[in-house]
Chains A and B, each alone.
Chain A
Amino acid sequence: MRKYKREFIARRAAREIRDGSYVNLGLGIPVLAGRFIPDGVDAVLISESGIQGFGTLPPKHKGDPDLINAAKEPVALTSGASLFSSLDAYTIIRGGHLDLCILGGLEVDERGNLANWMLPGRMVNGMGGAMDLACGAKRVVVAMEHTTPAKKPKILKNCTLPLTGLNVVHRIITELAVIDVTTQGLLLREIASEVSVDQVCRDTEADLKVDKDLKIIQV
């Protein structure tokens, strides 16, 4: 069930990837989205490990230990790829050169604040590149499950966890809804076919405005 949910979110998130764009996919659901990029969309994936242009390894290929993605998994270069140092990787990321970054999320709030790197009571692993990605990409989409495993809302009036970035999120994609962060607050743009607006609002702590042109999520 959870697997289905994650795949659904990933499929919808993949539809954010535009033809001709340079894209970074964060760990978890966003990486899955890389497998569902629609046919005919020619986008280039950027990895903070130092790659422009990569994809999954061919079946049974064990990979090259010198060629990994940000999750430290072996990957394959695509034709026309280029390789660079961490310094160049963050010039791309922080310098506003990325068209889109899809990130995972623990919490997002009404002002587009994002928390996705630290859970209380857990060992602090570090933010890695998440803070740079959140503040540097032209467009930041958060792809995450709508509620926590304990069914608590993750879309809040105010984030409670340590932040990754302030006012950075443009769009939130979950298994229930697609929500945009606007200057007037959160706007419900799309909704899953089997749920009602009331249901989405029940599982969301933040106030939601409903788009006049509310659509059903297509994946």
Chain B
Amino acid sequence: MNKVIPDLAQAIADIQDGATIMIGGFGLCGIPENLLQAVCDKGVKNLTVISNNAGTEDFGVGLLLRHQQVKKMIASYVGENRTFEELVRNGKLQIELSPQGTLVERIRAGGAGIGGFYTPTGYGTIAAENKETRTWNGRHYVLELPLRAQFALVKAWRGDPLGNLVYRATARNFNPVMATAADVTIAEVEELVEVGNLNPDHVHTSGIYVQRILQGLHYEKRFQSARPTDEV
């Protein structure tokens, strides 16, 4: 088995207008930089993007927003991107907000064949509007539904041709769960190693979840926030 597709354009060739795509990352940390650029270059439009954040004006998911390729975003936090704000204000972008823990659990449910789940998060807030609620043992819960996508674009540190992935530090974030919840998961890695060179005990995402893998050409790894100053 060999899932390596070295050419970026080829790896995303079947992503069409109107596709639903999950994109890994927490802010700009652990985003699939190369695949994002390829989707941007391809110019597909009317995408539904499921991603924790919206990137910045000129990097990350922000690239797709800036080129008006996105019709709808499902996210938990979209601050720090003025383009996003403008698009929403002008009615050019729909936004569905999920609390972060609910977002990640909805993706897990999508990947794990769960039809829905009850969470206490957001009970009594606008996050629970128009949603079924239940009470067990005096605690209130909100029904949340799973999320799936046609494509998941994920980024790992190392991977092999079977699609086994190892992440690094907080660049792991949403990547492993998203890898489970799409029809086609495309992984980009900093280092593609030969089969047998990953310690099986250290693999975070098993190859069964990954359909395509490639080694990224270049990683910029921008900081979204500077290190905090030492003064209060």
Contact = CB atoms under 8 A, between A and B. Distances in A.
B28 to A, nearest CB: 7
Q: Is the interface of B mostly helix, strand, loop or mixed?
A: loop
29 contacts: A48-B100, A65-B28, A66-B221, A68-B224, A72-B28, A72-B29, A72-B223, A73-B227, A74-B225, A83-B169, A83-B170, A84-B172, A85-B167, A85-B176, A87-B108, A90-B100, A90-B104, A94-B120, A127-B77, A128-B100, A129-B101, A131-B99, A131-B121, A131-B125, A132-B101, A132-B121, A163-B125, A166-B125, A166-B140
A63 B29 CA distance: 13
Contacts of A131: 99, 101-102, 121-122, 125, 127
B30 interface: yes
Contact of A129 (B99, B169, B226, B232): B99
Most chain B beta-carbon contacts within 10 A, residue among A56, A61, A83: A83
B67 to A, nearest CB: 21
A136 B120 contact: yes
Interface residues of A, number: 54
A166 B100 CA distance: 17
Interface of A: 3, 6-7, 10, 31-32, 35, 47-51, 56-57, 59, 61-68, 71-74, 83-87, 89-90, 93-94, 113, 123-132, 135-136, 162-166
B218 interface: no
Interface in B20-39: 26-30
Contacts of B177: 85-87
Nearest to A51: B170
B92 interface: no
A166 B27 CA distance: 28
Contacts of A63: 223, 227
Given A59-B230, A136-B101, A65 B29 contact: yes
